[in-house]
Chains A and B, each alone.
Chain A
Amino acid sequence: MDSLSSRAIGDFLGEAEEIIENLNNDLIVLDDCAAQGTCDPDLLNRIFRGAHSLKGLAGMFGFDDIASLAHHLENLLDHLRLGKVPLSNGLVQLLTEGFETLSRLVEGKGEDPDFTFDVSAMRQRVEQFLAGGPAAADEPAMDRIDPEILAVLTEFEEHRLRENLKQRQYLFKIKADFDLSSFDQELAALTDLLKKQGEVISTLPLSADLTDRIAFQILFGTDLPEGDLGSLVASEVVVENLLPAPEAPPSSRVMVADSEPASAADKEGVAENSTAAETSARSISRTVRVDIDKLDLLMNVVGELVLAKAAIGQVCEKIKGEGGSELGSELQKATRVLERRLEELQKGVMDVRMVPVAQLFDKMNRIVRKVANERGKRIALQIEGADTELDKLIVEDLSDPLMHIIRNAIDHGIESPEDRRAQGKPEKGEVCLSAAQKGNHVVIEVRDDGRGIDPEKVRRKAVERGLIPETAKLSRDQVYDLLFMPGFSTAETVSDLSGRGVGMDVVKNNIALLSGMIEMESEVGVGTSIAITLPITLAIIKALIIRVCDKTYAIPINSVMETMMVEASQIRTIERKEVIELRESTLPLLWLGDVFQLGTRAGRRERFFVAVVGFAEKKIGIVVDELLGQQDVVIKSLGESLAFVRGIAGAADLGNQKTILVLDVGGLMSETLRGDSSFFA
């Protein structure tokens, strides 16, 4: 299909990524199943269907590499779901690698549709795996089953029916009819109820001539005898034996009786499931996938509107100032309505952009497994706060830095099981990935219980690399800062696993680009924690506009704690740092004019303005000449070439075609608090 538009290819890549993401999550569950030795057939079939869909889609686009590998994986999964190969961790590992290869292909094609690489080795491994498998087990004959029933079963469903026969389960045809307008919820409620007691093999809609209603026949395998099943389902549901002469019950099992408390919980579960089924059934048809660029465009328009509204507000003031107070008041009223609606619109668009970090965390879960496997380490990943929401773009851009940090934690942090045992730690290392919202910020933390960072080792290495003089005396924070310096990470420390040869300096810069801040805490032998503090969204922010030496800057308002006027006489010097007293604590000062070398310090002035900025306990005072007030600003990217200018997070559009720079509060703070004067040199 040569005529396929790039939009169609974009659709494909989006859907392919989604399928692979879901597959990866399912594979994690499958891995646990392999360890336990039992597995839900629905799960297997879902994974199979994922590979199957990928193959079909890729084929339509002529992506033969993806199609052929997906075909092999599908074949392997087909064998697995049909019971022709046993489930093992090795098999799950092979599948995981296979889908990872597919994911790389999909990712590559996102950059360039002609991107490809040789997948024959992977294909061969799948073939070898199948060649080594045992022959299919003896299957019980199906001749006792009504051919009409068999006629509508897919191969997989037939296999499940056979499995149920093999395990000597009771088999039932369960018939029920529902209102056409709500049948999916009601059917899902019945199916969920049944699934607790056995396996739903197939669901056949019956062609009975009903108006406004639809009947279904569910094929159900269970170890519950007919009487018990009958009392479980509603009275209008018809239960029939599938086989003329049912076989003996396979095992004695106690059915949960209605009067027991557990049953009440069960029933609640069913009720919950039925509402869950309702939402999920709806979401299929009520969800749209939108290109993030479209949302950006929308956001930009909203941003322009916000600025236009500000301009109207100014006109309004002007009219009132020039004596047209009546007209001015009317305009003001109208503007206020506009303002409220705009706020709603802005909030609406923002909400659409918000996604739970779970997406990101799931991805990390996979990386943890992979890296742990490759490094021969045993790791338990704890995830907390996965439902915390962040702007989709931030989540995307966070992926690489977070991956790097996690790889580092496993690569360098967590010790080998032997070492851990020797230290009296549990063999399984722990990595905790957490997210939490704090005001307008989200803090994402990666914590490990590994060997921690030895400041002396880091210092020695920095000396070796020529980053600091031999005699340098460094505080602990300054030592951690070394880790974020360009040139500190080398081939020796950055293994092929720890990212694509990027060091922590790149991680830090990426976080700064998101107006975020990164902090590290570590204790030798106990572990390391890296916390990333990020704004919830980047698109439109309220900012404090300030002026220094006739230059205007914006400070994101969510990092401004307060502003104040300070007399020159209040400034004191402690350890060569200028500070003021602020409610019984000392506040380090940062002269913005010095930072950007804007000429002579206005030291002769009697009074200054100070904007107190910070997150939580950490704060500094930014000394400026003038405070110009609060305003909504639309954040614009600085572009690649200016991306790494220190102290600056981006540019903002003020509306009247003026662009000003936005301060990187996180960066300025960490440098000021550590007193690293070389930063500004």
Chain B
Amino acid sequence: MAKKILVTEDSSTMRALIASAIAAVGDYEIVEAANGFEALRILPREKVDMVLTDINMPDINGLELVSFIRGNANYKDLPLVIISTEGSEKDRLKGLDLGADAYLVKPFAPEELQQLILKFLG
């Protein structure tokens, strides 16, 4: 069965770009969430294998989502990558401190994302 990747990102164009970059390296199922609330709803319902999340989102921020995932017994070991626009160094360090496995800065080359996917999901 194809592994599932949850992509939490409020821009639909960005979600499509991420999905097409991932599709190029293997058979993965992409589950899209347009905001943090949707991600919270999807997590218990779909058994996802990896999470990608933006930081700046309208409802809960990506850091809060990372903290939630890392603190929850069901999800704490999921590979977790923050994808966010270069900007606040503080936010980036916080993300890593909270337990994100990697931090990808937009704009990124598709290969950078692909390498991370292969690294965590093989």
| A residues at B contact (CB < 8 Å) | 1, 4, 8, 11-12, 14-15, 46, 49, 52-53, 55-57, 59-60, 62, 67, 74, 78, 151-155, 157, 180, 183-184, 187, 202-207, 209, 211, 214, 281, 284-285, 289
The distance in angstroms between the C-alpha atoms of A78 and B56, with both chains bound, is 12
Question: Are B64 and A180 within 8 A (Cβ)?
Answer: no
Known: A15-B11, A152-B67, A152-B94. A203 touches B16 (CB 8 A): no
Question: Are B67 and A15 within 8 A (Cβ)?
Answer: no
Closest to B67 in A: A152
Closest to A67 in B: B107
Min Cβ gap A216→B in Å is 8
Question: Are A183 and B37 within 8 A (Cβ)?
Answer: yes
Return chain B residues, CB-CB under 8 Å to A187.
37
Return chain A residues, CB-CB under 8 Å to B72.
207, 209
Question: Are A49 and B98 within 8 A (Cβ)?
Answer: no
- Chain A CB within 8 A of B29 CB: no
Question: Are B56 and A52 within 8 A (Cβ)?
Answer: yes
Return chain A residues, CB-CB under 8 Å to B70.
207
Question: Are A154 and B34 within 8 A (Cβ)?
Answer: no
The 6 closest A-B pairs by CB, nearest first: A207-B71, A59-B107, A56-B85, A56-B106, A207-B72, A205-B68
- Chain A CB within 8 A of B14 CB: yes
- Chain A CB within 8 A of B49 CB: no
Min Cβ gap B109→A in Å is 7
Known: A209-B73, A284-B38. A203 touches B11 (CB 8 A): no
Return chain B residues, CB-CB under 8 Å to A206.
68, 71
Return chain B residues, CB-CB under 8 Å to A14.
13
- Chain A CB within 8 A of B58 CB: yes
Question: Are B90 and A155 within 8 A (Cβ)?
Answer: yes
Closest to A181 in B: B41
Question: Are A205 and B61 within 8 A (Cβ)?
Answer: no
The distance in angstroms between the C-alpha atoms of A203 and B63, with both chains bound, is 11
Closest to A70 in B: B85
Size category, B interface: 35 or more
12 contacts between A and B (CB under 8 A): A56-B84, A56-B85, A151-B97, A152-B61, A152-B63, A154-B56, A154-B61, A157-B61, A205-B65, A205-B68, A207-B69, A209-B73
Pick from A52, A155, A180, A285: contact of B38, CB below 8 A. A285
Min Cβ gap B9→A in Å is 10
- Chain A CB within 8 A of B12 CB: yes
Question: Are B56 and A49 within 8 A (Cβ)?
Answer: yes
Return chain B residues, CB-CB under 8 Å to A12.
13
Pick from A60, A153, A157: contact of B107, CB below 8 A. A60
Return chain A residues, CB-CB under 8 Å to B98.
151-152
Question: Are B91 and A154 within 8 A (Cβ)?
Answer: yes
Question: Are B14 and A57 within 8 A (Cβ)?
Answer: yes
Known: A59-B107, A67-B107, A214-B40. A151 touches B67 (CB 8 A): yes
Return chain B residues, CB-CB under 8 Å to A1.
17, 109-110
The distance in angstroms between the C-alpha atoms of A131 and B10, with both chains bound, is 32
Question: Are A204 and B67 within 8 A (Cβ)?
Answer: yes
Q: A11-B16, A57-B11 are in contact. List 11 more A-B contacts (CB 8 A).
A: A52-B56, A56-B106, A60-B108, A152-B63, A152-B66, A154-B56, A183-B40, A202-B61, A206-B71, A207-B70, A207-B71
Pick from A4, A49, A154: contact of B88, CB below 8 A. A154
Min Cβ gap B85→A in Å is 4
The distance in angstroms between the C-alpha atoms of A55 and B14, with both chains bound, is 12
- Chain A CB within 8 A of B121 CB: no
Query: Which B residues between 1 and 50 are near A, CB-CB below 8 angstroms?
Result: 10-14, 16-17, 20, 34-38, 40-41, 44
Return chain A residues, CB-CB under 8 Å to B94.
151-152, 154
Closest to B66 in A: A152
Q: Is the interface of B mostly helix, strand, loop or mixed?
A: helix
Closest to A157 in B: B61
Min Cβ gap A154→B in Å is 5
- Chain A CB within 8 A of B122 CB: no
**Binary interface encoding of chain B residues 99-117 relative to chain A, with 1 for a CB under 8 A from any of its CBs, else 0:** 0000000111110000000
The distance in angstroms between the C-alpha atoms of A214 and B45, with both chains bound, is 13
The distance in angstroms between the C-alpha atoms of A191 and B90, with both chains bound, is 27
Question: Are B68 and A204 within 8 A (Cβ)?
Answer: yes
Min Cβ gap A47→B in Å is 12
Question: Are A56 and B11 within 8 A (Cβ)?
Answer: yes
The distance in angstroms between the C-alpha atoms of A157 and B90, with both chains bound, is 12
- Chain A CB within 8 A of B55 CB: yes
Known: A202-B64, A209-B72, A284-B34. A8 touches B10 (CB 8 A): no
The distance in angstroms between the C-alpha atoms of A62 and B98, with both chains bound, is 31
Return chain A residues, CB-CB under 8 Å to B34.
284-285
Return chain A residues, CB-CB under 8 Å to B65.
205
A57, A183, A209: most-surrounded residue (chain B CB, <10 A)? A57
The distance in angstroms between the C-alpha atoms of A4 and B84, with both chains bound, is 20
Known: A59-B107, A209-B73. A8 touches B17 (CB 8 A): yes
**Binary interface encoding of chain B residues 77-91 relative to chain A, with 1 for a CB under 8 A from any of its CBs, else 0:** 000000011011011
Question: Are A205 and B60 within 8 A (Cβ)?
Answer: yes
Pick from B64, B87, B97: contact of A203, CB below 8 A. B64
Question: Are A8 and B13 within 8 A (Cβ)?
Answer: yes
Question: Are A60 and B40 within 8 A (Cβ)?
Answer: no
Return chain B residues, CB-CB under 8 Å to A157.
61
Question: Are B106 and A207 within 8 A (Cβ)?
Answer: no
The distance in angstroms between the C-alpha atoms of A187 and B97, with both chains bound, is 28
Return chain B residues, CB-CB under 8 Å to A15.
11-13
The distance in angstroms between the C-alpha atoms of A157 and B108, with both chains bound, is 26
The distance in angstroms between the C-alpha atoms of A1 and B73, with both chains bound, is 38
Question: Are B38 and A59 within 8 A (Cβ)?
Answer: no
Pick from B68, B73, B106: contact of A59, CB below 8 A. B106
Min Cβ gap B7→A in Å is 13
B14, B69, B90, B108: most-surrounded residue (chain A CB, <10 A)? B14
Min Cβ gap B66→A in Å is 8
Return chain B residues, CB-CB under 8 Å to A203.
59-60, 64
Return chain A residues, CB-CB under 8 Å to B14.
53, 56-57, 60
Return chain A residues, CB-CB under 8 Å to B38.
284-285
Pick from B10, B60, B97, B106: contact of A204, CB below 8 A. B60
Question: Are B35 and A284 within 8 A (Cβ)?
Answer: yes
Question: Are A281 and B97 within 8 A (Cβ)?
Answer: no
Known: A53-B10, A57-B13, A60-B17. A155 touches B64 (CB 8 A): no
Return chain B residues, CB-CB under 8 Å to A155.
88, 90-91
The distance in angstroms between the C-alpha atoms of A214 and B44, with both chains bound, is 10
Question: Are A52 and B85 within 8 A (Cβ)?
Answer: yes
Question: Are B11 and A180 within 8 A (Cβ)?
Answer: no
Return chain A residues, CB-CB under 8 Å to B36.
205
Return chain A residues, CB-CB under 8 Å to B90.
155
Min Cβ gap B46→A in Å is 13
The distance in angstroms between the C-alpha atoms of A74 and B16, with both chains bound, is 24
Return chain A residues, CB-CB under 8 Å to B91.
154-155
Return chain B residues, CB-CB under 8 Å to A4.
17
The distance in angstroms between the C-alpha atoms of A464 and B2, with both chains bound, is 77
Min Cβ gap A575→B in Å is 62
Min Cβ gap A19→B in Å is 8
